[in-house]
Amino acid sequence: MKEFRPMKTALIGCGMISKVYLENCCKRFNILEMVGCSDLIPERSAARAEEFGIRQMTNQEIYEDPEIELVINTTYQLSHYIVAKEALLAGKHVYSEKMLAVTFEQARELARIAEEKGLLLGCAPDTFLGAGLQTARKILDSGMIGVPVAANAILVRGYHHERFRTDPERRFAFCPGGGIIFDVGCYYLTALVNLLGPIRRVCGFSQTRDANSRIYMHPHNPEYGKVMKIETPNNTAGVLEFHNGVLCPILTSSESVNVTNSFVIYGTEGKLTLNDPNCFTGQVLLQTKACEEKEIPVTHAYTDNSRGLGAADLAYAIRNKRKPRAGYPVALHTLEAALGIIKSGETGTIHEMKTTCERAEPLTAGCVEYPEMVLDL
């Protein structure tokens, strides 16, 4: 087995998602040597630095440190583009929280910079690397449900609940790039692409419901009594046509009260019913012509919240000189698909996809975490 020199890594953006990233990147993924963190609010980076025994730094200090090779970008949604761009221009590899950018043009520019500078650029979601979806990929690739012909994805949540009206960390859910199709729909789009391959074209409808009629209701909120602006679609229905011919309706709505998830792949010989792809594991149900629906035990590692897994994979990709599994082509492709559904509704036309991507290499089955990542592939 080949051993690799750990990669000095720094995290920018010490909000709520940073905790699980730092937990995993400091204590779990040996390829990463987390050395520092920064945030626009110094008190937050100081707290995270103390909690995980790393340096409190500024963004500029991270960019100028020649030993830091990788930057993990967990900033606010609207800041993903500028932080990723600054880090790339400083010569750092970058792994960003989803989405890669708010606009397709920004995301494409980041991809161009990375290519020109010979750097790797990766992006969440990385849940498709977890036990549930890797098990599903293994079943699908084995032909157990025959040839895939259709899929169905439904995601319904209630973003107008009180916690979304009062928690500043959740305000991004109503900003451009943060609506339900981007915030959580990206998990479904990424999982679908990993299972079925690239998308050929999309169509759909989108709505921004109650855009200026909701009020901040909690008296402790500094915005109490003011209108809560909703600047992004919160109710979308689309259809994806994949290059392999699979058709998939996808519904994303943040306008209900209960969480509802449905994720099914249909084949000529059976079907797979899967868990919410926002999770790393969950039930994998298989039904075929030969048997009734039954739960299949997961065949892969990573059954818990393993966020940061994509960053670890990217670090191994750098050391092994291979493509990262959660690289920018998938992020760019799924961003275009989400924006394409919205554009289709606005223009009344079908959106032909400009981007494409490859299905990521599946992980090796077994309970040993990343056995193939310590081999010279």
Evaluate if residue 168 carries a pLDDT over 70.
no
Q: What are phi and psi for residue 372, nearest 5 degrees?
A: -75, -15
* DSSP 8-class letter at 30: T
Cα distances (Å, whole numbers) of residue 313 to 27, 31, 95, 138: 15, 9, 10, 19
Residue 169: pLDDT band (50, 70, 90) is low
Q: What is the mean pLDDT of residues 59-78?
A: 96
Under DSSP, is residue 222 helix (H, G, I), strand (E, B) or coil?
A: coil
**Contact between 248 and 151 (Cβ < 8 Å):** yes
Q: Which helix H or strand E contains 71, and what residues bound it?
A: strand 70-73
pLDDT reported for residue 372: 45
What is the side-by-side order of every strand in the sheet holding 93-96? 55-56, 32-38, 7-12, 70-73, 93-96, 121-123
Locate tokens 């020109």: which residue? 116
Residue 158: how many CB atoms within 10 A of its CB? 15
Q: Do residues 302 and 130 make contact, with C-beta atoms less than 8 angstroms apart?
A: yes
358: DSSP letter: P
Phi then psi dihedrals of residue 227, to 5 deg? -70, 135
Q: Which pLDDT belongs to residue 277? A: 97
DSSP 290-346: TEEEEEPPP-SS--S--TTHHHHHHHHHHHHTS--TTBHHHHHHHHHHHHHHHHHHH
**Beta-carbon count within 10 A of 142 CB:** 8
Q: Supply angle C-alpha 208, 339, 252, rounded to 5.
A: 55
pLDDT band at 368 (very low <50, low <70, confident <90, very high): low
Q: Which domains can be identified in the chain, with CATH numbers?
A: 1-123 (3.40.50.720), 128-295 (3.30.360.10)
Q: What is the mean pLDDT of residues 189-216?
A: 91
Stretch among 153-162, 189-198, 268-277 having the lowest mean pLDDT: 153-162
Report the SS3 class of residue 186. Answer: helix
87-101 pLDDT, tens digit per residue, is 999 999 999 999 999
| Rounded (10°) CA dihedral 372, 373, 376, 377 | 60
pLDDT > 90? residue 124: yes
Q: Who wins on pLDDT, 157 or 143? A: 143
